[in-house]
Structure 1
């Protein structure tokens, strides 16, 4: 071997990087621009068959490992919470201009109403000096975490009634039968935690008089059934039918499941039905949950300062505060999708009184969750989403007085907020007109929100699909764009 050849063989790695495509700088730039190419294809990580997901890996580098979705069922009024409109107070009782209302579709509850008087909020708003955002006096705890959240004041939807609007927010379709976002995530990415469901659902209500939710909102739809949301309930048995009957030991249950699985495998080989695999998965998950669920729902090891943060309500199982605390505990154990539904925000009348009741039940715990995740280092890879299914009208429904009024459904604009993994903190995004009736800047459709959430989880919403009845479906159907303006 001559000296030149020998020198080439003895070249150091440093020399190789320096002389190849301008060295380390090119590698770094390539990693930022197209990390998936640098790694030779799909990004590996918690996603993939090893964790029960169909995707071989992430489509791109994820910012979020998990989602906590604080869904406020009934549609909070954006005009009483985050979208301050002083003009409505100045023109209180005046008819809404036709040029503002336009041809906006109204719900059937306004069919007999001939007058549409403008109504402002009876609550004061304060402006955050750093973010520029306005926060209602009924949301003081949320106002205190303004610099940690991104408020979107330009959400809009296609639906005008509660059930289709709620189902649309969760599944991307107003018609029941489609998989919920949590089911899509479970199907695509699986879960690193084998002892808890990948999609957990928690329910609470801030008032007694509330509309019930359709369980289709956390359905697996046409996806295999073991991807559906599992509801944790308050009380002695958080998951129904989880405990063994009297006289059945855990060892005996294990033997029964082994025999049952052998029979199911035989049936699977004969019929090739994917639901047989789902049943096996569900039996095994239930067995593991017998040990994991009692531990995670037991708050006895939580220190006093936790309840000082979330409030005394957190000690009462089934309250929104208790569910927020449970959501944090689930996040600590890497449950990928945690869905909270807080019912009672539908105020067609008695709005000043009832929305204050709802805010007092949700405001402190929502902000506490953000603080708690942040102080534990979990907020940086946990996406928190807060909001309802649509907004409320700028005019009053029914009789208007200075002490009392109501607002009807309004799909054309409403407010939500997001916090955590990959979302710009301390930001106000989007804008409505002076009446809080129409979007004038940076509209965000429901499908855009869904696409953005999946993007933060490392998933391209156009590439996570499932073939059903001859066509390929996805969460965002044929719509949706990632809202890059809110991404850090």
Structure 2
């Protein structure tokens, strides 16, 4: 049969397109079919829309207390006994030697060692109706203690920054596992079809780097979208390649419409859920071009907001900008936003093995912006269903290192939560008299993960994904929900 050039191109064009699409599909993280925790009713409720857009909002398993999370990551391990865990005995016995089972020395084979206690360098004061003690490092956050839920009995795995940071984000010390934000994206999708479900602002390239916001074996659309990096000022944090300078807006729209018509024709002849998901992810990227730039434009905020978040002060401007961006993203429907106070190319910010006085610099940079974020969300009515989570990968020891510093301590430290269905003006758990080890109502990092998922309406034991012949979950085979902190 004679075939002219036009007929040949018509019949082979889809073949070339198919090769290109298979190339795109090859870029997706391949895994076995997911065993989702979402019920059959929840999946059937969305039907075709779930297959065509993997980020489509999904129904939670049960009534959630929170719809979204802002995680304020304090990289390096803030000292609990210098910030929010007041221990009068440290002042009383300053300079005296006591026996401790130090986690880092135990890892090297040592048991009990004699260590010299070091009192905090800052005074503590009582704030609010609850009278919670807060050090002078955080006078702004101190004014909001009646809105906060302190967990003073945190403990975790790992004694070094890399493993503990990975564990905080993924629930694993050294395996390639999805990050918490990716799990939440997978379980709930996004509230705004024009924005990703998971964004991380100024993440660090060290101590896990991209693995801390990775999707691992989950579909790649659930990977966190990074804005900037820790080594650069947050004013430069944006989404790479978000603007197309080579084509006008009208030309881009026409191009997009044409591609949608071609994609629809291809799907119509060969329905394929994976193909539909890939197309949906690329369409999300196109929609973000028209929505993300305005979202990241802080000039739209009034001067009063710039003042409240500390953007007019060089000491607080960088982190304040991140917190204000987080509020704007949360308000726009991003499900999980991580705000990173991370390393700047050298050591993690809060990692004071000597010269503990440097904690004052980091507290100064973060105190006002965090307090402003709490107040701003509260005034806008967003704090009721937005969970704020503040904390680092571990804490620090109550005894001295290098005469004026503190070493890592994963055995007892403090995180705090606010909003999102947790009790306000509440303290849970306790460390020993010196603040070294959690001894009362202990909360492991797996428990924290399970609790946050529960607040979002997700059963941590049911949110699973089948990969390499087994079902995986964020909390592995551990974790329990700390229901005592629920409002």
- Kept in 2, the 8 Å contact 1:396–1:406? The answer is yes
For the residue of structure 2 that corresponds to 1:463, the secondary structure is coil
* Deviation for aligned residue 1:284: 1.5
In structure 1, the partner of 2:68 is: 66
* Deviation for aligned residue 1:201: 0.7
In structure 2, the partner of 1:37 is: none
- Kept in 1, the 8 Å contact 2:78–2:350? The answer is yes
> CA 1:235–1:257 in 2, change beyond 3 Å: closer, same or farther?
farther
CA distances 1:385-429 after superposition (whole Å, capped 9, x unpaired):
00000010111112x2xxxx1111110011010000110000111
> CA 1:279–1:250 in 2, change beyond 3 Å: closer, same or farther?
farther
- Kept in 2, the 8 Å contact 1:194–1:285? The answer is yes
CA distances 1:451-474 after superposition (whole Å, capped 9, x unpaired):
110111111111111000000001
> CA 1:412–1:224 in 2, change beyond 3 Å: closer, same or farther?
same
> CA 1:59–1:356 in 2, change beyond 3 Å: closer, same or farther?
same
How does 1:3-402 map onto structure 2 within 5 Å? 49=50, 52=54, 57-97=59-99, 101-102=100-101, 104-106=103-105, 116-128=115-127, 130-203=129-202, 214-233=209-228, 234-235=234-235, 238-247=238-247, 251-252=251-252, 255=255, 259=259, 262=262, 274=274, 279-313=278-312, 319-343=318-342, 344-352=349-357, 354-398=358-402, 400=403
CA distances 1:139-191 after superposition (whole Å, capped 9, x unpaired):
00110000001111110001111111111111111124211111111111111
* Deviation for aligned residue 1:52: 3.5
> CA 1:46–1:424 in 2, change beyond 3 Å: closer, same or farther?
farther
318-327 or 413-422: bigger deviation: 318-327
CA RMSD of aligned residues (A): 3.4
For 2:91 and 2:138, how far apart are their aligned partners in 1? 19
- Kept in 2, the 8 Å contact 1:131–1:146? The answer is yes
For 1:56 and 1:237, how far apart are their aligned partners in 2? 29
TM-score by length of 1: 0.81
For 1:212 and 1:389, how far apart are their aligned partners in 2? 11
> CA 1:413–1:236 in 2, change beyond 3 Å: closer, same or farther?
closer
For the residue of structure 1 that corresponds to 2:398, the secondary structure is coil
How does 1:393-432 map onto structure 2 within 5 Å? 393-398=397-402, 400=403, 405-432=404-431
- Kept in 1, the 8 Å contact 2:391–2:416? The answer is yes
- Kept in 2, the 8 Å contact 1:43–1:59? The answer is no
For 2:463 and 2:265, how far apart are their aligned partners in 1? 28
* Deviation for aligned residue 1:251: 2.7
- Kept in 2, the 8 Å contact 1:150–1:428? The answer is yes
For the residue of structure 2 that corresponds to 1:191, the secondary structure is coil
Matched, 1:450 2:449: yes
- Kept in 2, the 8 Å contact 1:54–1:188? The answer is no
> CA 1:298–1:138 in 2, change beyond 3 Å: closer, same or farther?
same
For 2:350 and 2:268, how far apart are their aligned partners in 1? 46
Q: How many residues align?
A: 435
- Kept in 2, the 8 Å contact 1:235–1:317? The answer is no
For the residue of structure 1 that corresponds to 2:324, the secondary structure is helix
> CA 1:316–1:424 in 2, change beyond 3 Å: closer, same or farther?
same
For 1:471 and 1:363, how far apart are their aligned partners in 2? 43
388-397 or 305-314: bigger deviation: 305-314
For 2:179 and 2:317, how far apart are their aligned partners in 1? 22
For 2:334 and 2:439, how far apart are their aligned partners in 1? 38
For 1:46 and 1:350, how far apart are their aligned partners in 2? 56
- Kept in 1, the 8 Å contact 2:421–2:455? The answer is yes
CA distances 1:318-371 after superposition (whole Å, capped 9, x unpaired):
81110101111111111111011112111111111x100000011111111010
> CA 1:90–1:253 in 2, change beyond 3 Å: closer, same or farther?
same
Matched, 1:472 2:471: yes
TM-score by length of 2: 0.81
